[in-house]
Structure 1
Amino acid sequence: MPVINKWLGRKVFATSLTFSAVFLSAASAMADVSWAVLDTRTGNILGHENAGKRHAPASLAKMMTLYLTFEAIQKGKLTWDDKIVFSKNASAKIPMKLWIKPGRSISVRDAVNGMIVISANDAATAVGEHLSGSEAAFARLMTKRGRQLGLRNTIFANPSGLTDRTSQLTTARDMAVLGMALERDFPKLFGLFSQPSFVFRGKRLKGHNNLMYRYAGVDGLKTGYTAVSGYNLVSSLGQGKGHLIGVVLGGKTARSRDAKMEALLKRFSTKGAVTAPPLVASNAPVPTRRPKRPVAPSETMDEVAIEQGDGDTEVALIPSAWQIQIGALPSQTTAEALLGKAQKFVRSIHGEAAGQIMQAEAHGTTFYRVRFDGFEDAKTAGKTCAALKRQKFDCITVKAN
């Protein structure tokens, strides 16, 4: 870096033009598309193109941050209600983020939801610092644990995936393996990746994993964009008791990346199922376009602005007037089990619904409310409650504060 800075300091116009051309050429080369599709039930790569080529991961790195967060929870090193304090470094990260001031804190649950739904860079950084003391130390842990999981050609430099002056690289194959590891090792938490939005401090934050919203059967995982990486995507398609994990790296636009992923999942949920036993083609849902719906203003924004990474646009806050509650349980474990049981059904009725568990106290007793947010009026909330009751769930409607 000192040599480059000295060279740039010469201020020679022609040389600067040459440098710019070389840089853009390198960035363009890194953004050449590569892809892979993996079946989680067999661990087999069903198809790929340049799956071993290294790319900058962008926010796909947060998948590893989330893996380590889930692992810390599983081992008792973290709880969902633990507080994550934000340093000046974490608070200073560029959007997308939760806009937490230095010294303030949020729960582990909010940090996880922030990373998954809006790809919050400040939350990822704060979690990494909380677990390892610094971004650099956490990145070393990410890389080491990744190697143990089978990520042979991935080097992490920070918890968020933001462009770093040190090398931060991955491959389509490695990201598919990481997606499989998340499903395999945390089956009860894997559903968190399908959240379209979540409620944070009374406001609804909507994600931008557009393929998940538009095509039936696609239920997560993660988008990513920086100027260096291009448009990246890891998607999961439910298939029997497992998933197809698709990875596209280096797309030129979000739309072309999503179209590529859709084509791959359609292709390998049929042909791949036939050629790679024990998959059964009839059990493989093919992504189908959802019915047309009105387009929200936030969906007409410039693609770069709505992707996490090098953008600088604040997250749109979507108000929620009504909630539904399906239980108030004595333990968080039973509350999470109920939430997991009801989540898919509720979302099939009202696609904007977002599940959450709210801790409360009454008469010295702690209990956990299982609620779904995202209902714009009492009628919509009531309709969902009625459908839940027909499925033997308890349900009441609640006016949001």
Structure 2
Amino acid sequence: MASLAKSPWRGIIARAAAAFVVALTVSISAAAPTYAIENLRKYAGIVVDAKSGKILYEDQADSRRYPASVAKVMTLYVLFQELQAGNLSLNSKMTVSRHAAAAVPTKLGLRAGATISVEDAIKSLVTLSANDMSRVIAEHISGTEAKFAERMTATARALGMGSTTYRNASGLPDGGQVTTVRDQAILAIAVYQHFPNYYEFFQTRSFSYGKRTYGNHNRVLGYMGAVDGIKTGFINAAGSNLMTAARKDDRHVVVIAFGFNSAASRDEKVRQLVNTYFNKGRSGGYLQTAMVPVPGRQGSTQFALAQPNQQRKATFAMPTPMPEFRLAALVAANGAQPQAAVAVASAPAPAVSVAMPAPAPADLGLVPAAQAANALAAPSVPDYNSDVIGAWLSDTYKLGAPPSALGQTAPSAPLGIGPTSSNTQTPNVDPINTASAQTGSAQVAGWIVQIGAGPSEDGARTMLSDAARKVGSLGDFRSFVEPFDRNGKTFYRARFVGFGDRSAANAMCERLKGQDMQCLAMQG
């Protein structure tokens, strides 16, 4: 009888345990990377003369690899952008979140709620390789680590790193976070060329914080009196990685070596490469072909390392809007009260007389077939023909200074407009309604906010950048450029996706129109 009396409790306990196991399984799967980790612990190496862009040695230079903690170099590159733009200083304080404090070692070990200066965070990355401080930097700049990773990837693309995708700020395991040693050589050159003053942090041999002193993990630092950094990395699936550079006697050589079974074997290989190829580097100034284009600036030089024997087309990095908590803090620091919807004002650009491209025709209706298809597919959607956007950018339109990393700096005046012909006519095309909302490479759902279209991809990305600068909350939505063809010519729509319903999309449109921008809400 006693056993029978206990059986209901046993059933309840068993069901509770089963529910716990299911919940735990769901939570683990939700937190797991989108892409499974595979074993990429295979050697890949490259040696590049940073003065000429010439490749002195390569082995599996374009094979996919995990960057591990070498990803922190891009984290610091983005942070240096913030410092250079004046959005942060080395004395700025950053707060440690619970997400940052929960990072797995190696880490500095600060508790949630603590603060750390930007300078100390930098030093903790280049010496200890602190994963928690990588998250602190990411969240302070972009609000979340995921948004910061998007910015890292956009910056990589703008630098010419076409095979690199970042998923986190630390380099912790994620099967979707991949790169090549060729791409990392570009970054190693760019971080020196673009931020020579901050580059000195990579030469830090030790860092004291609290009662502890941390040494630099790069055991090759100082080799031949030339090696000056940059970053080590290790995860099981990648092996031991190293990005380093040697500068001496007016030479500058970059060495990237990934995929070793031990740090000792990695360091020995890097020493061999430095010893073999350093004196083969150019002695003198940096050739134009070795200059990595600055993200956000027009570049047409032949960049030897990124795209050999090809003309490089400028790519614009999408700046991350300032997180609300930082924007509110800045407003309060200026003696004002935060408002519900903060519109970042742009200083007027200097007046420059330029020949702007002709606007799109105002009366561009849907062709009858498209009208019929739209009516059948979505009869509840109102007629948007009256909202056609005439936002166009010419292929020859060039931007001046790069957009501020947080959208706080007014863009400079255009550098000029390329030669135009009065006989050239733009095909009559409705940039909004000539194609389904789901055509192209990006599959979207929900509601879309389209801010314009034009004949160049860079022009469309510039529209997205400008919109994000003017309305900071657009940073909560994914931006993309959708190509479509009309009359034998390719055009590009600039869109933000992820709006839950029509009212949310329309509300965003109203905010954009309040900033003198055209906008159209539509269902995906």
- TM, length-normalised to structure 2: 0.46
Would you say the 8 A contact 1:41–1:241 is kept in 2?
Answer: no
SS in 2 for 1:109: helix
| Residue aligning to 2:184 | 175
Alignment of 1:115-130 (within 5 A): 115-130=125-140
Q: Classify 1:47/1:131 alpha carbon distance in 2 versus 1 (closer, same or farther; 3 Å).
A: same
Cross-structure match for 2:239: 230
Distance 1:39 1:214 in 2: 17
Could you tell me which residue of structure 2 aligns to residue 69 of structure 1? 79
Query: Structure 1 residues 66, 195: CA separation in 2 closer, same or farther (over 3 Å shift)?
Result: same
C-alpha offsets along residues 333-356 of structure 1, whole Å, 9 cap, x if unaligned? xxxxxxxxxxxxxxxxxxxxxxxx
Find 2:230's aligned residue among 213, 221, 225: 221
- Tell me whether 1:103 sits opposite 2:108 in the alignment: no
Residue 156 of structure 1 corresponds to 166
1:267 has 2:276 as partner: yes
CA RMSD of aligned residues (A): 2.3
**Residue-pair matches, total:** 254
- The superposition leaves residues 244-265 of structure 1 with CA deviations (integer Å, 9 ceiling, x where unpaired) of 1100011111111111111111
Secondary structure of the corresponding residue to residue 231 of structure 1: strand
Question: 1:91 offset after TM fit, Å?
Answer: 0.6
Counterpart secondary structure, 1:211: coil
8 A contact 1:139–1:157 mirrored in 2: yes
Q: Which residue is 2:101 aligned to?
A: 91
Partner residue in 2 for 1:357: none
Q: CA deviation at 1:221?
A: 0.4
Higher Rg of the two aligned structures: 2
How far apart, CA to CA, are the structure 2 residues paired with 1:88 and 1:213?
Answer: 37
- Identity within the alignment, %: 35
- Who is 1:245 aligned against? 254
Alpha-carbon separation, structure 2, partners of 1:49 and 1:56:
16
Of the candidates 68, 76, 92, which is equivalent to residue 82 of structure 1?
92
Report how far residue 60 of structure 1 moved: 0.5
- Compared with structure 1, are the counterparts of its residues 81 and 74 closer, same or farther at alpha carbon in structure 2 (3 Å cutoff)? same
Structure 1 equivalent of residue 263 of structure 2: 254
The question of whether the paired residues in 2 share the 8 Å contact of 1:39 and 1:244 is answered with yes
Task: Give the Cα–Cα distance (whole angstroms) in 1 for the partners of residues 75 and 159 of structure 2.
Answer: 14
- Contact 1:153–1:170 (8 Å) recurs in 2: yes
> Is residue 210 of structure 1 aligned with residue 195 of structure 2?
no
- Larger CA deviation: 242-251 vs 225-234: 242-251
Distance verdict in 2 for CA 1:93–1:212, change over 3 Å: same
Q: Which runs of 5+ in 1 are unaligned?
A: 10-22, 280-401
Unaligned runs of 5+ in 2: 1-20, 26-35, 286-524
Is the alpha carbon distance of 1:185 and 1:77 closer, same or farther for their aligned partners in structure 2, counting shifts above 3 Å?
same
Structure 2 CA distance for partners of 1:253 and 1:215, relative to 1, 3 Å:
farther
Contact 2:42-2:238 at 8 Å conserved across structures: no
Deviation at 1:199, TM superposition (A): 1.8
Question: Where in structure 2 are the equivalents of 1:342-361 lying within 5 Å?
Answer: none
Q: How far apart, CA to CA, are the structure 2 residues paired with 1:145 and 1:241?
A: 29
Encode CA deviations 1:19-70: one digit per residue, 9 max, x unaligned.
xxxx99x41xx11100001111112222101100110100000000000001
The match for 1:282 is none
Write out aligned runs for 1:297-316 (5 A): none
Deviation at 1:215, TM superposition (A): 5.0
Contact (CA 8 Å) 1:196, 1:213: kept in 2 or not?
no
For 2:130, the aligned partner's letter is A
Check conservation: 1:222, 1:235, Cα contact below 8 A: yes
CA contact (8 A) 1:116 1:193 kept: yes
Match of 2:67 in 1: 57
Q: Which amino acid aligns with 1:66?
A: L
Matching of residue 187 in structure 1 with residue 210 in structure 2: no
The secondary structure found in structure 1 opposite 2:208 is: strand
The structure where strand makes up a greater share of residues is 1
Q: For 2:165 and 2:201, locate their aligned partners in 1 and report how far apart those are by CA, in whole Å.
A: 25
* Match of residue 47 from structure 1: 57
Is 2:142 the partner of 1:135?
Answer: no
Q: TM-score, normalised by structure 1?
A: 0.60
**8 A contact 2:51–2:251 mirrored in 1:** yes
Deviation, 1:242, is: 4.6
Determine the C-alpha separation between the residues in 1 that align with 2:105 and 2:251.
34
